Chain A
């Protein structure tokens, strides 16, 4: 096996370690340190994909994040990932890559017919073609477009990899380890600042790895290595490679994506694949460098056409030639370095320079090396379908709008350079309004918006000397402000080649009668003519042109296309680029995996799990759990093959006939203390609280200021200035914030303190006609008679050696008690209850039975208190005091709250006494009524009444009690059910409430 395009010596790869991989099924190898791209190019493979719209053959264009074409489906470490950038993904043993967007294969692609039908694919094609008929969209257009134009295929397997999040704080975050970044980090580190230096690539140094420069008599690469080694040895510095800072958010929060182990063959189970860093930096240095932009010409998307700096990087970093017969096509001096590099490796390039003949350090050097330079020349159109074979080149006239001479030259690659575009994405994301810099035909950051400072090429300084100076100074000054230390640093001597001025030409004219495709945006297949059409059709704003043509909207964010697109628009519009403006830069700068965003918040870690102290008992006794917020609550205790329905019926029936116990630990509990506690409760609740004696509980209702019921629960007066409030499980947190709001802001004069004690108490309800008998066995020394512990009574007593609180309150409508002990004693209490309760036929019951019991009693809960009901809607107006003021009282007088026909609570039973009514059903007069069928109300809660042995529901219905006795239909299109129902009272069982007082 040989690699025809691999150089013998050059590069930073490890030639001692071969790595096998496959591409489209073909077995190949590369070396440690290769990317997929460099390994494929070394093997002479350039055709890697098909373009998005026209399915034109596409090859590599860049060598890093700027790559618009080479997005592959890659399988490695047991997972398959789409849209992987081949120029960034490092080669690992066993990796297998395949081309996307081609069928049946990249070499023979059926979709390529689109290329010959291109009149059907102009700008706005999607908007125009697939609009009508509307019904075609889902069945025909969309599936077709997806299949034909899709990028990669997302895996439907569970992602087994581990992803992590990390929160970090630092004085200075440096984004990019090129010369200016290294200098900034170094200067700040020397001042004692806490520094994070982030480099997107595996290797530190940026352009120092590829540019022919020296710093303090060291080569650029060696100097970078020296600085990095020193930075790594400093305790105040964190140095990270493979780490892309992709987003700049509010208050100097930056987010970084670290590829921790994708490049590793083996890793420990606990090594994350990728890590997301949330970095709060006091100051940020944006040393993100610049990206070369192409010159637009005919068929400029043919495989074998590269950015010239990428071609140089392939030689200098990977020891790979992108071709052996290169054409260097440039409007500036930097591409001469690529030509010289080819020459150094014994490859003869031809330079086509759009500028007129002149002299500069680099041009002179190229001339002295005998390189063929043709001034006032450029590529008109590339020839070759799957790979460039030759190019039609032309000598430009003085105005550069036509040709004096046209000829064809053979070549196997074209390395193009249209000058440099600063990477201003992060600066722009920070809120920095960019400004257009005429000198470089590009945008650079303007006035600071947050604490961001752009340095080096990212700020439009393209010389090493300037970049270093810029870096050292800013790193030193910014950090000195934070650390109050300033260490003198001598700026090193630099040896670099001086560049001459660049030419503003960015798009080659076409000879008469020739009209090849000239692409501006490769990834989204947007050509010059597409943009021309958009403008012809009246799109003016650059944001609209972008959306209509999809220019710059692909995953590469138009890194190589934005400015050329702007140039084109401004040319046609006869404006200058800054008048056209630029589109918005949005995070992420590079695509990141969903796994990284999610981090560890999957499965059990998706949210915290709250368990009651009795959880293990429930588990052991076949409880089936249900989520109540973060809590796990037993829904029912399964016996044998019971269904939910059977088990909950059994449990509820046992409460009505004997006694049951229920874990009510999850109820919100708030301790309220202070001399003004009674006054506070009196304002918070709708009913009167000033006269509640010590040792008594009361049911209370609280409203929002708009009169809507917020929550209900019992509050007990433990002692003179001490109350124990309970809230529903769901509203516990909101009620606490609500109380704190009034105490801290509205009535700070009230001397009251509130604190959540939900976690401090374990609670168990004992409910059923035999509950008193059971209670007397639990408290043999206590008088629990109806006289001493009446309904709404409270006692503190010793429970087999542990202190406990006994509340005589009931949610089930039965004679019932609630016992609270400290959480640590919860399990002890529960087991004792199960033991003592045996002789009374005690059974545990879950939330399903709990619901059944409360529904048939007509007790309202969450489904009725749904944020739309006022007290009278749910028959709780008896609890609304007319005498005193309270939160929300003034709203109850609103006209809409007092109309007779308002929807109010009622009970429903099916006429056939058999069909369960689905919750959420709508109540209508005529089940076959014409749509829109007037809705009279909805079913809020449904159960099987164990008392009456038939279904029963609560509903919120227009005209409420006035409808009692009438028949309607409960319709549920979701369940495809329509059930005839009769309206009855919402209090289906024990309407007088005798049992709770028995």
Chain B
């Protein structure tokens, strides 16, 4: 079971969180024209990298904040966590 550092609450067990997918995907702006290709990329196309991956988790059984987690998908090592407003590099 992973041990995830919520930027608001501190280290918490994985079972307090739910997974939210790739954090680098950006939704096309609302009320703006978007090409079919861009839209499809946003809705369907995801990378499945082996290694470092920046993903979203929500601390559902805690502060309910969505957070960013940089995790190695193969080893589960977590390198960094951040608020969604912060950058992970």
The reply to whether B27 and A250 contact each other, CB–CB distance below 8 Å, is no
Interface string of B38-61 (1 = CB under 8 A from A): 010011100000000000101010
Q: Given A253-B1, A740-B66, is A746 in contact with B43 using a C-beta cutoff of 8 Å?
A: no
Nearest Cβ on chain A to B7's Cβ, whole angstroms:
12
Q: Given A431-B75, A740-B66, is A891 in contact with B39 using a C-beta cutoff of 8 Å?
A: yes
Interface string of B5-29 (1 = CB under 8 A from A): 0000000010000101000000110
The reply to whether B43 and A891 contact each other, CB–CB distance below 8 Å, is yes
Whether A437 sits at the interface, judged by CB under 8 Å, is no
The reply to whether A705 and B42 contact each other, CB–CB distance below 8 Å, is yes
Nearest Cβ on chain B to A540's Cβ, whole angstroms:
26
Residue of B nearest to A252 (CB): B3
Interface residue from B56, B66, B78, B85 paired with A251 (Cβ < 8 Å): B78
Whether A249 sits at the interface, judged by CB under 8 Å, is yes
* A167 to B1 Cα, complex, angstroms: 12
Residue of A nearest to B1 (CB): A253
Nearest Cβ on chain B to A517's Cβ, whole angstroms:
43
* A748 to B1 Cα, complex, angstroms: 31
Interface residue from A167, A251, A683 paired with B2 (Cβ < 8 Å): A251
The reply to whether B43 and A251 contact each other, CB–CB distance below 8 Å, is no
Residue of B nearest to A251 (CB): B3
The reply to whether A706 and B43 contact each other, CB–CB distance below 8 Å, is yes
If over half of B's interface residues share one DSSP class (helix, strand or loop), that class is named, otherwise mixed; here it is: loop
Residue of A nearest to B30 (CB): A885
Whether A747 sits at the interface, judged by CB under 8 Å, is yes
Residue of B nearest to A754 (CB): B64
Interface residue from B3, B18, B32 paired with A737 (Cβ < 8 Å): B18
* A499 to B34 Cα, complex, angstroms: 77
Q: Given A740-B64, A744-B84, A745-B66, is A251 in contact with B1 using a C-beta cutoff of 8 Å?
A: yes
- In chain A, positions 624-658 with a C-beta closer than 8 Å to chain B are none
Count residues on chain B whose CB falls below 8 Å from chain A CBs: 28
Residue of B nearest to A707 (CB): B43
Whether A890 sits at the interface, judged by CB under 8 Å, is yes
Q: Which residues from B are CB-within-8-Å of A126?
A: none
The reply to whether A737 and B2 contact each other, CB–CB distance below 8 Å, is no
Interface string of A431-451 (1 = CB under 8 A from B): 100000000000000000000
Nearest Cβ on chain A to B50's Cβ, whole angstroms:
15
- In chain A, positions 238-252 with a C-beta closer than 8 Å to chain B are 249-252
Q: Which residues from A are CB-within-8-Å of B85?
A: 748
Interface residue from B31, B36, B66, B76 paired with A741 (Cβ < 8 Å): B66
Whether A585 sits at the interface, judged by CB under 8 Å, is no
Q: Which residues from B are CB-within-8-Å of A891?
A: 39, 43
Interface string of B55-74 (1 = CB under 8 A from A): 01010100011100000000
* A933 to B1 Cα, complex, angstroms: 46
Q: Which residues from A are CB-within-8-Å of B13?
A: 167, 280
Whether A828 sits at the interface, judged by CB under 8 Å, is no
Interface residue from B27, B32, B44, B65 paired with A746 (Cβ < 8 Å): B27
Q: Given A741-B58, A748-B85, A891-B39, is A253 in contact with B3 using a C-beta cutoff of 8 Å?
A: yes
The reply to whether B1 and A278 contact each other, CB–CB distance below 8 Å, is yes
- Most B-side CB within 10 Å, residue of A252, A431, A885: A885
Q: Which residues from A are CB-within-8-Å of B2?
A: 250-251
The reply to whether A744 and B65 contact each other, CB–CB distance below 8 Å, is yes
Nearest Cβ on chain B to A446's Cβ, whole angstroms:
15
Q: Which residues from A are CB-within-8-Å of B20?
A: 741
Nearest Cβ on chain A to B13's Cβ, whole angstroms:
8
Interface residue from B30, B32, B44, B58 paired with A683 (Cβ < 8 Å): B30
Q: Which residues from A are CB-within-8-Å of B60?
A: 733, 737
The reply to whether A890 and B3 contact each other, CB–CB distance below 8 Å, is no
The reply to whether A740 and B58 contact each other, CB–CB distance below 8 Å, is yes
The reply to whether A737 and B58 contact each other, CB–CB distance below 8 Å, is yes
* A683 to B84 Cα, complex, angstroms: 21
Residue of A nearest to B56 (CB): A745
Residue of A nearest to B32 (CB): A885
* A733 to B56 Cα, complex, angstroms: 17
The reply to whether B76 and A251 contact each other, CB–CB distance below 8 Å, is yes
* A747 to B27 Cα, complex, angstroms: 10
The reply to whether B66 and A744 contact each other, CB–CB distance below 8 Å, is yes
Q: Which residues from A are CB-within-8-Å of B64?
A: 740
Interface residue from B3, B30, B84 paired with A745 (Cβ < 8 Å): B84
Nearest Cβ on chain A to B3's Cβ, whole angstroms:
4
Q: Given A683-B30, A705-B42, is A280 in contact with B3 using a C-beta cutoff of 8 Å?
A: yes
Residue of A nearest to B35 (CB): A890
* A265 to B67 Cα, complex, angstroms: 52
Residue of A nearest to B64 (CB): A740
Q: Which residues from A are CB-within-8-Å of B32?
A: 885
* A179 to B27 Cα, complex, angstroms: 59
Q: Which residues from B are CB-within-8-Å of A747?
A: 30
Residue of B nearest to A743 (CB): B66
Q: Which residues from A are CB-within-8-Å of B42?
A: 705
Q: Which residues from B are CB-within-8-Å of A745?
A: 56, 66, 84
Q: Which residues from B are CB-within-8-Å of A740?
A: 58, 64, 66
Q: Which residues from A are CB-within-8-Å of B18?
A: 737
Q: Which residues from B are CB-within-8-Å of A251?
A: 1-3, 76, 78
* A746 to B27 Cα, complex, angstroms: 7
Nearest Cβ on chain A to B19's Cβ, whole angstroms:
11
Nearest Cβ on chain A to B34's Cβ, whole angstroms:
6
Q: Which residues from B are CB-within-8-Å of A886?
A: 30
Nearest Cβ on chain A to B30's Cβ, whole angstroms:
5
4 nearest A-B pairs in the assembled complex, by CB-CB distance: A251-B3, A250-B76, A890-B39, A885-B31
A–B complex contacts, Cβ < 8 Å, 7 sampled: A253-B3, A431-B75, A706-B43, A706-B44, A746-B27, A884-B31, A885-B32
Given contacts A278-B1, A745-B66, A893-B36, 16 further A-B contacts (CB under 8 A): A167-B13, A250-B2, A250-B76, A251-B2, A253-B1, A280-B13, A431-B75, A705-B42, A706-B43, A706-B44, A737-B18, A744-B65, A744-B66, A885-B32, A886-B30, A890-B34
